Amino acid sequence: MKKALNATVSWVGKVDWELARFHGDEYSTHKGSSYNSYVVEEGQTVLIDTVWKPFAKEFVDNLEAEGLLAKLDAIIAQHAEIDHSGALPELLRRRPDLPIYCTANGIKSLKGHYHADWDFRVVKTGDEFDLGNGKKLIFIEAPMLHWPDSMFSYMTGDAILFSNDAFGQHLATEKLFNDLVDQDELFVECIKYYANILTPFSALVDRKIQEVLALGLPVAMIATSHGVIWRDNPTQIVLKYLEWARAYQEDRVTILYDTMWEGTRALADALARAISQASPQTAVVAHCLSKFDKNDALTDVFRSKAVLIGSPTINKGVLTAVAGLLEELKGLRFKGKRAAAFGTYGWSGESVNLISEALVTAGFEVVDGGFRALWNPDAPALVAAAEYGKAFAAKITRPAETSK
Ligand code: FEO
């Protein structure tokens, strides 16, 4: 269970190979995840974060088996979300004397979740915890990365940045470090994590990274709270975050739709083919939202310069998978992306306008009024859809306006 980062810092977390959904049912974790907790054994012995509640007893039992439970002097709670604080009640039940160092917002969140009056010690940016042996932890508040309470801790001497959620990824692995895992798998999970969790906070990500870089601190490792620890070129993930935080896009178009009797699906297929033919260098992907994973679809939106969203009209509205996706887009607030709507209808035909309006609300630049087809598209309707796709491809070639 205990795995060494170096002579005095160890991982004591939990690898969760079974995790398939995270944040309730909101986020798919195809590769499981881990809840990373660390112990620093210098003059003082300090625990940084814990694990999700289902593993609380196993976690504290392991600390005891390693001789760490009795040895602990303090807990650093960098983030109160349950995946990192879930073992605190069990830990404090067995070591009620332990002080918990966290931000002022951390106390609010921890009390809100656990309704316990533990020995909280408030820290803010620049405050230090003396580890002994000439080393210390320096705290850096990082509000909204991922919650208002979040903070980083920087360990001097060893130059380890404990970054909690930031720079993490949902990847279950027994390997501790970034250079020991499949790089393609790693970055697929990193960008999905950023796209689905951190996108709304991109301005804060950018600002916080600039602030930390300005400190000029050496960084030998970035020890996150999910997935691997960055030790090989650790700043590579920081540079990726800067890129992703600045209205990221690739030469990619994503088509998201749902369909009842294959009409809107036929339009999606025709649009994908037409855009691909009109702009061969552009990657084009389509997701049927009721059949495939929502978070993978949102990752493709994040990577795209433009999206097309389609639904037939039903009950003067859109299909529920599309409605749910539009709600997600409103919250994620992607920047600098173009969009349009499409769909079939039989009589009233509201779906295309409703999708267009939702896209505007979500911050997309809607390039035109979209494309509608009456009933099931026949050959002329599919030719018209292809013409529309070709025109859409032309409209998205110029650089989009980006707003931060
Ligand atoms: Fe991994 Fe915001 O918790």
Beta strands at 151-155 and 135-141: parallel, antiparallel or unpaired: antiparallel
Q: Is-catalytic flag, 206?
A: no
- Domain check: are 268 and 385 in the same one? yes
- Establish whether residue 16 lines the binding site of ligand 1, counting it when its CB lies within 6 angstroms of any ligand atom: no
* 77: three-class secondary structure by DSSP: coil
Structure tokens at 343: 């769909």
- For residue 160, report the distance from its CA to the centre of ligand 1, in Å: 19
> What span, in angstroms and rounded, lies between the C-alpha atoms of 51 and 67?
18
Ligand 1, atom 3: nearest CA belongs to which residue?
81
- Domain check: are 270 and 238 in the same one? no
Ligand 1, atom 1: nearest CA belongs to which residue?
165
Chain mean position to CA 334: 13
pLDDT of residue 330: 98
- Domain check: are 194 and 264 in the same one? no
- Domain check: are 240 and 258 in the same one? no
Look up the CATH number of the domain holding residue 270: 3.40.50.360
pLDDT of residue 403: 44
Answer yes or no: are the C-beta atoms of 5 and 220 closer than 8 Å: no
- Domain check: are 256 and 233 in the same one? no
Last residue of a domain, which of 244, 278, 312?
244
Domain that holds residue 285: 252-395
Determine, yes or no, domain membership for 379. yes
Walking along the chain (404 residues) 10 residues at a time, the average pLDDT comes out as 96 98 94 98 98 98 98 98 98 98 98 97 97 98 94 98 97 98 98 97 95 93 98 97 97 98 98 98 98 98 98 98 98 97 97 98 98 98 98 86 48
pLDDT of residue 169: 98
CA trace torsion 307, 295, 146, 17 (10° rounding)? -160
* 328: three-class secondary structure by DSSP: helix
- Establish whether residue 170 lines the binding site of ligand 1, counting it when its CB lies within 6 angstroms of any ligand atom: no
Look up the CATH number of the domain holding residue 166: 3.60.15.10
- Domain check: are 294 and 227 in the same one? no
Determine, yes or no, domain membership for 401. no
CA angle (312 as vertex; 307, 313 as ends), nearest 5: 120
Beta strands at 9-11 and 3-4: parallel, antiparallel or unpaired: antiparallel
- For residue 128, report the distance from its CA to the centre of ligand 1, in Å: 23
Determine, yes or no, domain membership for 147. yes
pLDDT of residue 400: 60
Determine, yes or no, domain membership for 104. yes
| Element containing residue 160 per DSSP (H, E) | strand 160-164
Determine, yes or no, domain membership for 404. no
Nearest Cα to Cα of residue 266 among 371, 352, 337, 391: 371
pLDDT of residue 402: 52
- Domain check: are 184 and 72 in the same one? yes
Determine, yes or no, domain membership for 402. no
Last residue of a domain, which of 215, 244, 273?
244
Last residue of a domain, which of 198, 220, 244?
244
Q: How many helices (H) and strands (E) does the chain have?
A: 12, 22
> What span, in angstroms and rounded, lies between the C-alpha atoms of 363 and 338?
9
